[in-house]
Structure 1
Amino acid sequence: MKMKLLYTVSGLLVVAWLGATAWIVFQFVEGRETPEVLEQVNTVYGGEMTDFTLEDQFGEPMDVSIASGKPKLINFWTSWCPGCQDEADDLNRIYEEYKDEIEIISVNVTTSDTMEDAMDFIEEYDVQMPVLFDLDGEVSGIYDITSIPTNYFVRADGTIEHITYELTEDNAEPFLQELLESGR
């Protein structure tokens, strides 16, 4: 009899816990299907890029926008990331070769870095492209940056064509050629 009562009470506690958890999750998620959230999901899964404005390494605001009409390579990085260090020289070479035809922008995920370390990285690797700082993590959140480095290849019309992680000149070349075709 005691075992049956123990099983019954245990079962009721599990059901109550599951119900409470479901209620909490529902309260948290309810109403989250706002245009902003849907736009974020769209950005991640091959939709249209989301425009943003961030300050560059000189403290000046820079707009990254579909309205420019140019294809884009947007690189998200941190100073302590080994993959980011590995791709820095290749990104500099890509920038030098394609800067007139493709907007190449580097975004430091500053919520996971420090400004001092990021500036040291820029100097150490002689980063040539514009570097923007995502101080509050909003842009990194919109672009769902969960791994660094992450690189977005965006067509001239704003469509996200490819998302890659660590890149080299060789693995970037086909994507860059597709972007050039999209801009013509």
Structure 2
Amino acid sequence: MKLKTKLVLLVFFILAVSMGACAAFSIARLKEYSLSVQVESEREKLRIAGRAFRQVGTREDFGNMGEIARDAYLKYQFGRCYQSGYALIKDGVCIANQTDYEIVNLSGLKGEYMVQELGGKHILLLRRALEYPEGFEVLAARDISDSWELLERQAGLYLAVFGGVSLAAAVIFALCLGRALKSLEELRQAAA
């Protein structure tokens, strides 16, 4: 293999690896940013609905009610204050479900939110505790598959752009190297 070919392949490999690392980092950051924007949007929706939900009674009102009456009243008010896509959770058990999904076990939701793949869809699950009564939480479940598909297309575009830049740089390097080696070859022949 000629020296020129070895150098061009080496440079192309180095550029491809470095551009691949940049692409992977960019894609990961884009995905993280997109998810954080969606999570913040859901947090804001939960805050707004939570304000309305807090107006339905005071701690004392709930304290004076029996547990069955309180739970029934909360289910009713939950239906009024929260639109579809939310569930009322009491001590880890769903008692009012307005989502399109069956909520069976929340033990997998360790933090405030997570993305779960379900039947080819990506579902954002976000949980927020109610201030009162204690032991109640609201779970938001949103289908974010469209955003994830857009991110996958964007990732393909990033890889194509970074790959194209690597290839273009390798071609330019090959042309410059060819000229430099041609001059050196002419000098070598003239010296001989």
Is the pair's TM-score, using the shorter chain for normalization, greater than 0.5?
no
Q: Whose Rg is larger?
A: 2
TM-score by length of 1: 0.28
Return the structure number with greater helix share.
Answer: 2
